[in-house]
Copies of this chain bind each other. A is one copy, B any other.
Amino acid sequence: MSGSTFGKIYKLTSFGESHGLAMGGIIEGMPSGVFVDEAFLQKALDQRAPGRSLVSPRKEKDTLKILSGVFENKTTGAPIAFIVENQGFDSTPYDAIKHLLKPGHAQYTYLEKYGIYDHRGSGRASARETLCRVVAGAFANLVLKDFGIQIESFLKKVGPIDCQYEKDFSSDIFCFDSINESKVKAFLENLIKENDSCGGIVGCKISNSPVGLGEPVFDRFEARLAYGMLSIPATKGFSIGEGFSSTLFKGSEFNDHFCNIEGKVGFTSNHAGGTLGGITTGQEIDFEVAFKPTSSIKKAQETLDLELNSSVLTFDPSAKHDPCVAIRGVPVVKAMAEMITLDFLLLNKLVKHSHVACN
């Protein structure tokens, strides 16, 4: 797997299998001298962790352990290695079904590609891998907040139900919509009863970004965002600004016009979603990520065994599956956006000769 590193300057290399000893990663490119607020990092990790209502309620205890790169609570510029030990899992239920092809799972393609597959909890293909991204995103956030950059993610759709984003409404399922949250919860509870799952859409906003982030022609801000978002398990789409609806606009309607706001360049609208020519405009960057329904469902499914005989897959009744992976995707979308934004912030320091020369 050559694809375990993400980023150009601020880089995460992640490792770990769901039922192995530990998940973890190495962060390179973190500037030195940044105060490391461990409580903040652990809290970010807790956001992703199972245990919340309606999300798969395993009692894993995910504790962040920093192995290097921090001295007397400050980053040293050295690589930051961290691990989260895997605990409280039981591999036994996976043994009973290891000979069956699991619909919607990575098992078939991993077996074909690598010739070997750690069937316990999906091994490397487990969504548990995303906790490494959450840690790296939280570390990036330590720098971003010094620049006043804020990133928020939230549920925009669950199954057929649209959700609004209300800044001051709190929700343990990231559905910040005072009217629809209860509707969403009822919908999900019903799915659990049906032993089924649904898809969802996650929205994300990056506020207070400076003008100038993005490295054309290939490393446009939105291109790296799309890359990062589609690297999250179960994602099926990415859009920025008006996204797929852009086709319904005329150019004269879509173009965001410039206006003078207190002596500075402003815009009369934001159809583009915060970038022009692949570079941030200083407007809010807003994008969406589509998630497919959770593949692991308790409903019996017809399938084949590894010898290609017909069979039926039934997950262990004690197994706990998320009714909607998009919920757990919310903090992961945010984390990828944090990593990408910091990466571009660092890259942008190298562009102008005046930046380089100033010491």
A212 in the interface, Cβ–Cβ < 8 Å? yes
Q: How far is the CA of A197 from the CA of B257 in the complex (A)?
A: 16
Query: What CA separation (Å) do A22 and B22 show in the bound complex?
Result: 14
A143-B356, A292-B254, A304-B259 known; A67+B83 contact, CB < 8 A = yes
Map CB proximity to B onto A224-244 as digits: 1 under 8 Å, 0 otherwise. Answer: 111111110101111111111
Of A1-9, A52-60, A176-184, the one contacting chain B is A1-9
Cβ B250 vs Cβ A244 within 8 A: no
Check A93 for interface membership: any CB of B closer than 8 A: no
Whether the pair A255, B31 counts as a contact (CB closer than 8 A) is: no
Contacts of A118 in B (CB 8 A): 71, 76, 78
Contacts of A255 in B (CB 8 A): 103-104, 293, 295, 297, 301
How many residues of chain A are within 8 Å of chain B by beta carbon?
168
Interface segment among A38-46, A166-174, A275-283: the answer is A275-283
Q: Is A26 an interface residue (CB 8 A)?
A: yes
Judge if A337 is at the interface, Cβ distance under 8 Å: no
Q: Is the CB of A293 within 8 A of B249?
A: yes
Given contacts A3-B217, A113-B212, contact A159 B67 (CB under 8 A): no
Chain B residues with CB below 8 A from A34, complex form = 353
Q: How far is the CB of A6 from chain B (nearest CB, A)?
A: 4
In whole Å, how far is A122's beta carbon from the nearest beta carbon of chain B? 8
Chain B residues with CB under 8 Å of A277's CB are: 105-107, 109-110, 125, 233
A13 x B28 contact (CB < 8 A): yes
Q: Which of B14, B109, B250 contacts A212 (CB 8 A)?
A: B109
In-complex Cβ contact of A226 among B196, B219, B227, B350 (8 A)? B227
A107 neighbours in B (Cβ, 8 Å): 277
Q: Which of B216, B248, B309 contacts A1 (CB 8 A)?
A: B216
Bound complex: CA A236 to CA B223 (Å): 10
In the complex, A346 Cα to B358 Cα: how many Å?
Answer: 11
Chain A 1-27 per-residue mask, 1 if CB under 8 angstroms from chain B, else 0: 111111011010111110011101110
Does A318 count as interface, using CB distance less than 8 angstroms? no
Known: A129-B217, A222-B235. 10 other contacts (CB 8 A): A3-B217, A103-B256, A108-B281, A198-B247, A236-B246, A251-B294, A251-B296, A252-B301, A257-B303, A259-B304
